[in-house]
Amino acid sequence: MKLLLLFTLVACVVYLTESKALVCYYSSKAVYRPEPFKYEVEDNDPFLCTHLNYAFAGLGEDFTIKVLDPRNDLCDDGGKCGFDRFTRLKEQNPELKTLLSVGGASEESSRYSMMAEDPATRKIFIDSTLKLLKEHKFDGIDLDWEYPTKKGGSPDDYVNFVTLLREFSEALHPEGMILTAAVSAGKNTIDPAYDVPGMSKYLDLINLMTYNFHGNWEKYTHHRSILYAHPKDEGRALTLNQDYAVNYWIEKGAPKEKLVLGLPFHAHTYTLDSAAETGIYAPASNPGPSEGGYNQICASQMTEDWTIVHEPDMNEPYGYYGLNWFAYEDSISLGIKAKYAVDKGLAGCMVWSIDADDFHGTCYGKPRPLLNAINDALNL
């Protein structure tokens, strides 16, 4: 009886302390930012994320995987060896998984659609990807096709994307590699683009891009990654929040233990029409200043006369100075969202992108306040 009780207690402790995934995208373009925002591969802390995704590789016209920045990514001809330096972070933390993310918003969806429709071109893409992953000791691939059936894609992508995932799974999993995907959180994309049960069979993690719900393409202010619907939301806007997206993916058949809640470290900006209206749904006919990372936001808050607002009906802050209006996340809002992921039973959280945190600790004296807040809430 005592042994049974001890086993039960140990099992409970293991269950309660089971770590959650924290998937961190690293934008390799961050090496080209001016100081103090320039971010090198070695600026990644290999102990704060469970998965680090190198963004991005692409798809070539010949349907092979394409290295988008050979000078930065490869060692050839005096290159900076970004891929190899990235995967060597595992020497500090052998538990870390390093993945190569393929796609992104700049890639042509139509090319991925053409590749996915033909068994021969799928094989070219998969074989070349596996070869590149092995050469640079990546642990797997993250597919960021934005989006099947959209932006020049074909209705057949709905089926072909699952076929592509199945064939990738058959190639990667026997090699001990993992397969993940970054997917839309918008209902208008989810419905035509994703056979959710089919995808879920082959993906190890499903990274929900639960951000960019709103932006300066609209003529009013709103938050890009609001957790719950705002009281003023109505109609389609009621679907443009993280809680709705998570529940909809689960309703469509995604296992919640594979879903990863996406959290942005970047802001969306607007130019207010009038300084007299500054809240959510304030008129804003024009884009704001160039959108930056949290590190740029908090640096600006130290030099400009910002008004920062935490509405009682929102978990996220927004701020403004003059007619410049910013929707962003801080350590408090991200901690709330990470706890939501835990309470919901999700696999964990995803960050786009790790290089936008205040990694120097310039603003409040503590490096990486956003990433540490997520870690604290996930109990990593």
Residue linked to tokens 């607007």: 270
> Three-state DSSP class for 246?
helix
At which residue do the structure tokens 């993906």 appear?
A: 203
Tokens 């910013």 map to which residue?
326
How does strand 348-352 pair with strand 21-27?
Answer: parallel
270: its two tokens:
């607007």
Q: How far apart are CA 173 and CA 157, in angstroms?
A: 23
Residue type, 132: L
Catalytic residue among 91, 95, 146, 304: 146
Q: 380 to each of 22, 89, 126, 193, 257, how far by Cα in Å? A: 9, 18, 33, 33, 16
Q: Is the peptide bond before 56 cis (omega within 30 degrees of 0)?
A: yes
Give Cα separations from 375 to 199, 241, 337, 362 (angstroms): 28, 22, 11, 20
Neighbours of 222 (CB within 10 A): 23
The verdict on whether 234 is a catalytic residue reads no
- Residue 266 bridge partners (DSSP): 293
The 10 Å Cβ neighbour count of residue 249 is: 25
Bridge partners of 352, per DSSP, are: 264
Tell me how crowded residue 215 is: count the other CB atoms within 10 A of its CB. Answer: 15
What is the spatial distance between Cα 22 and Cα 262, in angstroms, rounded to a whole number? 10
Residue with tokens 């802050």: 317
Catalytic center residues? 146
